[in-house]
Structure 1
Amino acid sequence: MQIAKALRNKPVALLWSAMVFSAIGDELYTIALIFVATSALGFLAGYLVSIQMACTLIASLYAGVFADRRHPRGVMIISDLVRALAVVLPALWLAFLSAPLPLWLLALMMIVVASAKPFFDPALQTILPELARDKDTLSAVNGLFDAMRRVARIFGPGLGALLIPILPIQHFFSLDALTFLVSAATLVWLRRNVADAHEPRTSAPAGFWPRLRQGVFGGFLAAGRKPVIAAHIFAFGVQNGAWYLGLILATALRFRQNDPADFSHFGLIVAAYGVGNVASTLVTAELKIGNPFLFMSVGRLICGLGFCLLALSNSLPGMMAAAAFAATGAPLAQIPFVTLVQTSFPPNEIASVFRMRMTCDWLGMFLALALSPMLLAAVGPEATTAIAGFTYLAAGGSGFLKRLGARVRA
């Protein structure tokens, strides 16, 4: 098995274990943040979702100005240390001042953590090809790291439920800080396995304005040289908006409107989606991907069909089965795309292209969140989920049409 081969690579196994540990810490952070925010703000806590999205979106635009001239591993270490310091502040405040946690400190922590994501995630994608060593193993490595957050979404909330009765909520932040420190220590250990630790920094344009242009628009300029890849990046932005709107908002509202007492069933649907994600990731990582564009199109079609089935389902088992089916399409689109970028662009452009992808993803979700009140009020949650499904189908179908058109011209 390719995944077993990838895990026999000690640096890959060590980094993956640290990233899973850190991702579980992120889930504990989310639980604690929601708990503290809802206690302090009540219904207004929902605005935190928009603020976090806006912070990550803005940071994804300017991160390249600072990160592209530095070694990816060093960028990841600094990002981990900054986030560790930020998330431990609530525990230190409550431990030494014995005063209620102020909202400004909660907001500061949230802004720092959200803004660090566009520095860390693209840098991680830059070092994975070096650790994988060959293209065949790279797909399995990408599958492993794609699965880490999906695994964390299954185990993190369960761990949180076990810890809430025995651990003060502020120490959920402390545990997240610990996971960031473990991640940073692992990256320090990987110094000998990542070439950027002993190679000179990537050259950058001379002058402030050229560097600013490269940092902000570098990913768009690089992807612009490969229009098909750029088109798929924008498609990911559209589908992420559809995912958030159709699975998260609309499905949650279906239970809230129809039977508020059964709102806990929403968690079961999200868990079923997570199980489908992980199962598909393990299978996709073993496949030899000859045509990544075909895989991405098929993945979107599966997601779209699953969302349409979710909209039509009225029973909990049917909705869980539809969500799990839809989830199997996500790795089929994601893993080939990651491998494609890592093998199509030079190392100094990989992070920039992934930041462009993050910008499109978060912009898509932000716009979906902004448009959701009008759409949900106009057509209702079931039809909204169906519209999200048709959006996926359109994105996947367009990929097939472009491929067919290319064959006809040939």
Structure 2
Amino acid sequence: MRLGLLRDRDFGRLSAATALGQLGDRVIFLALPLVAIAALRADEFHVGLMTAMTSAGSLLVGLPAGAWVDRMRKRSVMITTDLARALLLLTVPVASAAGILTIWWLYAIALVHGVLTVFFDVAYVSCLPHVVGRGHLVQGNAKLSAIRSVTSISGPTAAGPLISLVGAPATLLVSSAGMAMSGLLAITMRTREQKPESSERPQLVREIKEGLKFTLQHPSLRAILAGDAIFSLSLAMYQTMLLVFLDREIGLQPSGIGLVFSGMGCGALLGSLLATKLAKRVGQGPVIWMAPLITCPLTALMPLARADWSVCAGAIGLAALSLGGVVRVVAQSSLQQALTPDRLLGRMSATARFFSWGGIPLGGLLGGISGSAIGAAGTLWIGAAGMTLSALPTFLSPLRRPPRP
């Protein structure tokens, strides 16, 4: 892949910070649930509840976060939240070593970490147009997705054996270090956006309503929100039981689970390499609905798997899910950023995240309840069907066809 924007000093540092932060995030994604499943022997419902707590921040502060971030410099928000998350994650191995780690401790960590991540992600999405300019959004999003994909491969690949060697709680030290280094790198960026002008008496409710009104009244943005909400709820149900299925029904060791998730990273990397070309050839709008419609049905291969070669077929289905997910996210993120004026970027991003991630706590709870009632495999079937149906809102919108020249 050509260097392009990577030659730019600030984009290069943003990319490096992204790589380190994403590495930490991928380790968390694997290690935190395994702390509950393996170290604390949590049942299906408690694993689902932890998934809900991880994403509950989107419901608690999702909409206000956009208004608050629009009043601040995005880079400062990214630095603060990265360093705070690093310190927070350190408490898990410390509590484990002291023998005081409980499932309630993990719930608290998941909740606070999720709230901080809401602020980071809103600022991160809003920061990119200031760093690369609006004319390079697709290229910038594609390159950042490629970097995230590489860490999605290396993170689980390294985390699996590390968990087997030192245990899941101690592995979170890697996550903490990654977050801290990401924040320190962001400090060295030279780009200084102008501090947003704020009125003497900011009207939080009015500002939130303005962001909601803009996003919900735009037919393309509204369709993206609806598709994301269905996809995220279904994905949360699927992912909540995926680790349980691999650990307890297939009998994979942490190293094997890490390889499965590394396969997903490979799919994501391929998707990031194809995203720009597909968006240009097919059109940003059609790519947004075609990607899930083509790739999500393949996730049904995993609940068919047994403790043999069929696990590889299931892993290929997950890799396809990641490929389609990255292609879709690059196209729709670039479109959302291009359609939104600078002063509303934070609120648009927060609104999108609220509708997308707001369904994850419900999906986590439903996944836990469904797993307890019909088993992990049955829940995976439901999640696969829901993710496939998420293509409908964008298919039935103006995004169905590329815009006329």
TM-superposition CA deviations, 1:27-55 (whole Å, max 9, x none): 34455544654577431652322222223
Structure 2 residue 190 is matched with structure 1 residue 188: no
Q: What residue is the counterpart of 2:363 in the other structure? A: 368
Shift of 1:102: 5.3
Report if aligned partners of 1:84, 1:180 keep a CA contact under 8 Å in 2. yes
How does 1:143-292 map onto structure 2 within 5 Å? 143-164=142-163, 172-190=171-189, 192-194=190-192, 196=193, 199-204=194-199, 207=201, 210-215=203-208, 217-246=209-238, 248-249=239-240, 251=242, 259-261=249-251, 268-289=259-280, 291-292=283-284
Aligned residues: 393
Q: What residue is the counterpart of 2:340 in the other structure? A: 345
For 2:235 and 2:295, the matched residues in 1 are separated by 9
For 1:106 and 1:308, the matched residues in 2 are separated by 30
Alignment partner of 2:318 out of 295, 319, 323 = 323
Pick closer, same or farther for the CA change 1:333–1:375 going to 2, 3 Å.
Answer: same
Pick closer, same or farther for the CA change 1:277–1:35 going to 2, 3 Å.
Answer: closer
TM-score normalized with structure 2 length: 0.81
Pick closer, same or farther for the CA change 1:27–1:380 going to 2, 3 Å.
Answer: closer
Structure 1 stretches lacking a partner, 5+ long: none
Pick closer, same or farther for the CA change 1:89–1:368 going to 2, 3 Å.
Answer: closer
Pick closer, same or farther for the CA change 1:327–1:263 going to 2, 3 Å.
Answer: same
TM-superposition CA deviations, 1:195-241 (whole Å, max 9, x none): x1xx232335x646x323424x4532220231221121121111122
For 1:405 and 1:298, the matched residues in 2 are separated by 9
1:184 aligned partner, one-letter code: G
Structure 2 stretches lacking a partner, 5+ long: none
CA RMSD of aligned residues (A): 3.6
For 1:57 and 1:268, the matched residues in 2 are separated by 32
Moved more, 338-347 or 104-113: 104-113
1:84 aligned partner, one-letter code: A
Pick closer, same or farther for the CA change 1:172–1:301 going to 2, 3 Å.
Answer: same
Report if aligned partners of 2:285, 2:400 keep a CA contact under 8 Å in 1. no
For the pair shown, which has the larger CA radius of gyration, 1 or 2? 1
Secondary structure of the residue aligned to 1:201 is coil
Q: What residue is the counterpart of 2:397 in the other structure? A: 402
Shift of 1:8: 2.0
Percent identical: 21
TM-superposition CA deviations, 1:294-316 (whole Å, max 9, x none): 11011121133323555667723
TM-superposition CA deviations, 1:256-276 (whole Å, max 9, x none): 78x543577665544333321
Pick closer, same or farther for the CA change 1:5–1:33 going to 2, 3 Å.
Answer: same
1:245 aligned partner, one-letter code: M
Alignment partner of 2:57 out of 33, 55, 58 = 55
Q: What residue is the counterpart of 1:43 in the other structure? A: 42
For 1:253 and 1:35, the matched residues in 2 are separated by 9
Pick closer, same or farther for the CA change 1:318–1:58 going to 2, 3 Å.
Answer: same
Q: What residue is the counterpart of 1:335 in the other structure? A: 330
Alignment partner of 1:305 out of 287, 291, 297 = 297
For 2:114 and 2:387, the matched residues in 1 are separated by 27
For 2:63 and 2:185, the matched residues in 1 are separated by 28
Pick closer, same or farther for the CA change 1:238–1:21 going to 2, 3 Å.
Answer: same
Shift of 1:180: 2.8
Report if aligned partners of 1:237, 1:357 keep a CA contact under 8 Å in 2. no
Pick closer, same or farther for the CA change 1:105–1:260 going to 2, 3 Å.
Answer: closer
For 1:68 and 1:88, the matched residues in 2 are separated by 30
2:69 aligned partner, one-letter code: A
Pick closer, same or farther for the CA change 1:175–1:344 going to 2, 3 Å.
Answer: same
Secondary structure of the residue aligned to 1:193 is coil
Report if aligned partners of 2:53, 2:107 keep a CA contact under 8 Å in 1. no
2:297 aligned partner, one-letter code: L
For 2:323 and 2:173, the matched residues in 1 are separated by 34
How does 1:76-155 map onto structure 2 within 5 Å? 76-89=78-91, 99-101=98-100, 103=102, 108-133=108-133, 135=135, 137-155=136-154
For 1:281 and 1:80, the matched residues in 2 are separated by 24
By relative contact order (CA 8 Å, sep 6+), the higher-ranking structure is 2
For 1:124 and 1:43, the matched residues in 2 are separated by 34
TM-superposition CA deviations, 1:68-95 (whole Å, max 9, x none): 211111111221232233233456778x
Shift of 1:162: 4.8
Report if aligned partners of 1:302, 1:328 keep a CA contact under 8 Å in 2. no
For 1:91 and 1:125, the matched residues in 2 are separated by 31
For 2:98 and 2:144, the matched residues in 1 are separated by 40
Pick closer, same or farther for the CA change 1:92–1:240 going to 2, 3 Å.
Answer: closer
